[in-house]
Structures are given as C-alpha cells and as structure tokens.
Amino acid sequence: MIELKKVTKKFDTGKAILTAVDEVEFSISDGEIFGIIGYSGAGKSTLIRLLNGLEKPTSGTVEINGQMITAIKGGELRKARQKVSMIFQHFNLLWSRTVKENIEFPLEIAGVAKSQRGKRVQELIELVGLAGRENAYPSELSGGQKQRVGIARALANDPEVLLCDEATSALDPETTDAILDLLVDINKRLGLTIVLITHEMHVIRKICHRVAVMEGGRVVELGDVLNVFQSPQAEITKRFVAQVADSGDSQETIKNLRELYPTGELVKLVFLGEQTEKPLLTKLIRSHSVDVNIVQGNISHTQRGAYGTLILQLKGSPAEIEEALAFLRAEDIQAEVMQND
C-alpha cells in the first residue's frame, strides 16, 4: 500500500519558486497497476521520484507498506529503495557491464553472496526472455532488449513496488506492446505493485487499473481506467482520451456521417465492460423490423474490461426506431440519436 498525503515539492530555480507537485494525495493498493498521465512539465517525473526518495518533498508524507519514505535517510533509505525499484525511459544500463553483470549490480549492492548471484541472475534472464544474450553488452541490444535488462535488474532484489518512468516512451509501438505485456505478466505472477508515469494514453488503457491525470503539479482526475475513458471529466483528460479513441463525438464527424448516410437515424451506442460481449445486434435485428447498418465502431480493451462505441444507421418508421432504441436501453446500453445542430 502506497499512501501520499498532501505532498508538495517546490524547486527554487534562483529566479522563482516552481511548484512541481502541488498537494497531491492518493493511495495505491497492493498489486495494483497505477498510471499517472500528464504532459511534460506536469510534475509526474518529480512525483514518481518522491516515491523512492530520490526527491524529498517540501511538505507532506509518502508511506510505502508502513514505512515513511519521507522520514528516513541514509542506510535505512537505501535499504528501502531495494524494495521500491525503478525502470527508466532511457534504460540507464551500465555500458561497461554485460547483460548478466548489469542484472547482478543490484545484488552486489544488496550484499548477496557471489555464489547465489549467478543463479538469481539466470532466473531473471529467463523471466524477461533474454536467454542466450547473457554476455552481450548493452550496445549490442535493441531498445526492447535493453528495457528487458532494466526490468530484470529492477526485479533482482524482489521489490514490492516497481516504478516505471516513461518506460516505453523511447520504444516503437510493437516493442512497447511487448514490454507492457511483460509488465502485466510480472504484475500477475509476482503480485508486484506497479506505478507508471507516461504521456501516452494507450499505455494507460492497455495495462493500468487506475489512473491519475496530472496538470500543473496537481492531480485533476483520478479513477478506474474504464470510467475515466468512459466519461472523462477534466478538459485535459478528454484530450488524452481523444488521443486513443475517436469517439465520433465531434460535430465535424456527425456532419460528415450525416452527409454519407442521409436517410434514417444515426444512433450512437456506448458499451461498457461485459456488454461488449453480448450478441446485441443479432437480437435487435431478429426482434425488430428496423434495418441496421453499421457506420462506425470501436472497441478498446483495458485491464478492467472493454469499452466501445458503435454508430448505427437505423432505417424504418419513427415508431420502429423508437422501439429499437427502447430495446437497447432496456439492455442497459447508452443509446442516443445523433443530432446535427
């Protein structure tokens, strides 16, 4: 369990006082994958560094599994850091060490005997899928492989929490997916709590359970990923959600669709969770006399279930259309007729 209470971090830039993190307060449960999203300068980098004491807050407290990270220092803090490990956007591997030696580094720091290190390193190499590359130097690896070394290194001392600092931002989309899958796998297998910061909404959508949206050092929105995607409240959250899903909401789109499908009614359906798995359209067509034409559709999968939108063209008499809508609403689907005004 991670608990932040009124955490504020101010930097004195010489000319002005900059508030990087402003009274942030939330808690993260064990085994959760918690995402923090924000544009650069939103304070998320500083915030994640407060969790392992790389930065000290100006005020407020950070508590991880009963230990007050903000109150300890020296040897005690170094010991605590072995349980709260971190991976980085640019991997930060030692170029002078091989894959094996890089993964061994945290074990050396923890004072693990040489005879036991080799076995542990081998386990970790298997876990992250790097078997056969033990003796390669980082310069001989691809970006994805480097991040795998970073993850193995971070897991070496059996941490309770893994902090991911833009861990996939330097990778191509395919490698990003593979690394995210690995993180989910680790989360499930080891029960590790993962806190990640990113500016990419698809990372949040793909692996996070909950998300906090940051702007100007403050958390402006926090909630279940599914809910945040479904009904974003803050302006900035809406922009992030729009990054990954074209919800077909903008007037422009409605106008375009109207021109393409001038007859009947355009109806937008919103699915959430298990509703996406029901054969709704089949039922609708079988039991009603309207003509159904799929215009646009989109289903996204998150760790907490799927959500999606579907735009249909319904043709029939107004009464028939009204009946069809009533049926859909009875099935607990949000259905609205798209007006262009």
Q: How remote is the C-alpha of 283 from its chain's centroid?
A: 35
Is 337 near another protein (CB under 8 A)? no
Is 169 near another protein (CB under 8 A)? no
Enumerate residues 46-75 that contact another protein by CB under 8 A.
Answer: 52, 54
Nearest CA-CA partner of 86 in 56, 51, 119, 60:
51
Which of 93/284 has CB closer to another protein? 93
Query: Which of 13, 15, 66, 96 is the binder for another protein (CB under 8 A)?
Result: 96
Query: Which of 1, 110, 306, 338 is the binder for another protein (CB under 8 A)?
Result: 110
Q: What is the crossing angle of helices 143-155 and 173-190, to 10°?
A: 20
Among the residue ranges 85-93, 173-181, 189-197, 315-323, the one whose residues contact another protein (CB under 8 A): 85-93
Which of 99/267 has CB closer to another protein? 99
Q: Could you tell me the smallest distance in angstroms from the CB atom of residue 86 to another protein?
A: 4
Among the residue ranges 22-30, 76-84, 211-219, 321-329, the one whose residues contact another protein (CB under 8 A): 76-84
Burial of 229 (0-12, 13-18, 19+ CB in 10 A): buried
Which of 87/310 has CB closer to another protein? 87
Query: Which of 8, 61, 92, 227 is the binder for another protein (CB under 8 A)?
Result: 92
Dist CA 206 CA 185 (whole Å): 13
Enumerate residues 275-314 that contact another protein by CB under 8 A.
Answer: none
Which of 144/232 has CB closer to another protein? 144
Cβ–Cβ < 8 Å for 281, 261? no
Token pair for 53: 């004491």
Query: Which of 6, 56, 73, 78 is the binder for another protein (CB under 8 A)?
Result: 78
The maximal CA–CA distance of the chain, rounded, in angstroms, is: 80
Burial of 221 (0-12, 13-18, 19+ CB in 10 A): buried
Cβ–Cβ < 8 Å for 149, 93? yes
Q: Could you tell me the smallest distance in angstroms from the CB atom of residue 175 to another protein?
A: 19
x/- letters, 12..51, toward another protein (CB under 8 A): ----------------------------------------
Residues that bind another protein (CB under 8 A): 52, 54, 77-82, 85-86, 88, 90, 92-97, 105-106, 108-110, 137, 139, 153, 157, 163
